[in-house]
Chain A
Amino acid sequence: MASERTSLMMGLTASGKTTFLAALWHVLRAGDVPGALVLDRLAGDEHYVNGIYSSWLSGDQAARTARSAVRCVELHVKDKQDRRISVIMPDPSGELLKDAVCERYWPAELDVYAQNAAGVLLFVHPHGVVMPHLISAVDIDEAEDEPDDEDGVWEPAMMPTQVMLVEMLQLLRSRSRTLHRIALIVSAWDEARRSFPGIEPVQWLDENVPLLTQYLRARTEYAEWTCFGISAQGGRIPDDKSRLLAHANPSDRLLVVGHPHANEHDVSAPIRWLMADL
């Protein structure tokens, strides 16, 4: 009988959650990546995951997850020891999670998953990181933009990315009694690596979301954590579409960095780590 795990995906809008899910679905179905999880059997309803997979295969951007949606995918998989696991992967929209931080509530449906999540995949996209920029750090004489005549009014949605992500984890912490592992995933890792050759995912996180990595390092009682750099698309859409579609084997599009024992195309590696399989 398969054991069941809930692995909750979290991250702001366009952080790469849905693309990752589509790529994961491919790897599970294809079964051609050494060491990766493979599909054991199909689930009852696969409309959602097949829909995003279809977009991924054709090199198109997946449709944004609806604001109020908490899509959930059920994956029945086997690991390399032939152990059967059912992985429940809720995929809440980035807007829903941002609303939780800013508006201070989330729906019952998400709460059920949060309470039962043993692991979290927390996504950060290099293009989506909003950092705090101090006025005192800018040379006014060299500033390109003139300050506006009217002072801006603060709203919670203006909070830097790292603050949003820390608060997301704090909110989850207030509801979960089962969480013990967090996998940070830096999306579009191919681009991050091009911008900073040789950088490792943890270094990128320390430089771009240092409040988040401090929080995880300090809160050892909360959960174990690790990080991966993943390119689940393999390039930019639509700029690199032709190149991506030229791969005879779509698994070759994928890039996974972060764990020495994971194959470089194994996007199931974070799931395996959450299950303590890595």
Chain B
Amino acid sequence: MVSETPPEGSEVNEADQSVRFHHGDYLLTEETVEVTRANPSRIVLVAGPVSSGKTTLFASIYSKFQQGPFAEMLFAGSRTLLAFERICFPSRIESARAIAETTRTTHSPRLNFLHLGLRHASLASQRRDLLLPDVSGELFAEIENSADACRELALLSRADTVAVLIDAGRLTDVAQRQGARSSADSFLRRCIESGMLGAQSNVDIVITKWDLFVDSEDNQQFIDETKRSLGERYGEQVASLGFWTVAARPSPNTLESGFGVDALLQHWLEAQRTLPTFDYAPPKIERSFDLFLDARVEADRGE
């Protein structure tokens, strides 16, 4: 049994010695430090227009783990269980709704994060923590339009993956499809030209609500053209550009619940932001102490 210092997250009331615990709700940016410090972590920034399915995607992942292991992973804890439960509630019978819904992300000046601890079901590897900032559709639109807004979202350049959502229902609607593609294009262009995405960035284009895709030659051609054009324009400017289709909560009798979400989750857990490389010129060694220090460094590297 490995002994470890228990995680922080509780405070003692000096007056009566009762204990106040961490709120269990969304984490603020400063609260994520505890998470990233404790375990290998992945930050996946999911962005998209209003109602593109961001929060439904998060709710779907969490709901799948409530049924059992998912995407070959085991649930290993969460510091934001209350937040997950709140966003899932409108999709449950207990909410007394006739149709499943998702709590809409309200626009906030502060980033809120969901947290999931996961571990491969084989237990062969260490636990990995997934941090999911919940970015509002309004902020997505603002970033499309403003370099300042783009640069203010510092997480864009630090996330291991930036996932841009496009609603399949809009892509197969003649009146909306050009706008849907243009929106994703504008967002990516803004992020790259602002220097927030670049050669170290992993980018995913996630087509959501795939159950709404109307299968026709014309629609399939438009999807293919969308992939081609975005790939050509931005593929060489980022570390990786992937395309995914999901249906987190499909309509009855269309696709299985969580279609494509398992593969996407596995991909996010594996993708890691490429660290920048730089040319290192070792200092000229003259003193005896420098010789000793250099030898220790080499030994620590195992070289």
Contacts and interface: CB of A to CB of B under 8 A. Distances in A.
Given A132-B92, A133-B94, A221-B4, A214 B18 contact: no
A166 B77 contact: yes
Contact of A151 (B5, B90, B119): B90
B19 A219 contact: no
B243 interface: no
Contacts of B98: 135, 140, 147
A104 B245 CA distance: 39
Interface residues of B, number: 56
Given A108-B17, A132-B63, A217-B123, A206 B81 contact: no
Contact of A219 (B8, B20, B76): B76
Nearest to A167: B81
Given A173-B6, A214-B65, A221-B4, A134 B100 contact: yes
Nearest to B20: A105
B267 interface: no
Contact of B66 (A160, A173, A175, A218): A160
Contacts, number: 152
B1 A180 contact: yes
B277 interface: no
Query: How many A residues touch the partner, as a band?
Result: 35 or more
Contact of A174 (B6, B68, B95, B250): B6
A245 B39 CA distance: 54
B252 interface: yes
A177 interface: yes
B223 interface: no
B92 A105 contact: no
A147 B94 CA distance: 10
A111 B10 CA distance: 11
B86 interface: yes
B95 A152 contact: yes
Contact of A135 (B20, B82, B86, B100): B100
27 contacts: A105-B18, A108-B17, A111-B17, A133-B92, A134-B93, A135-B95, A135-B100, A139-B252, A150-B96, A151-B97, A152-B89, A152-B97, A156-B82, A156-B85, A166-B77, A170-B79, A170-B81, A174-B6, A174-B9, A180-B1, A214-B65, A214-B76, A217-B74, A218-B77, A218-B117, A218-B123, A218-B127
Interface of B: 1-2, 4-10, 12, 16-24, 63, 65-69, 74-77, 79, 81-82, 85-86, 88-100, 117-119, 123, 127, 249-250, 252, 257
Closest 4 pairs between A and B when the two form their complex, measured CB to CB:
A108-B17, A218-B76, A148-B96, A218-B74
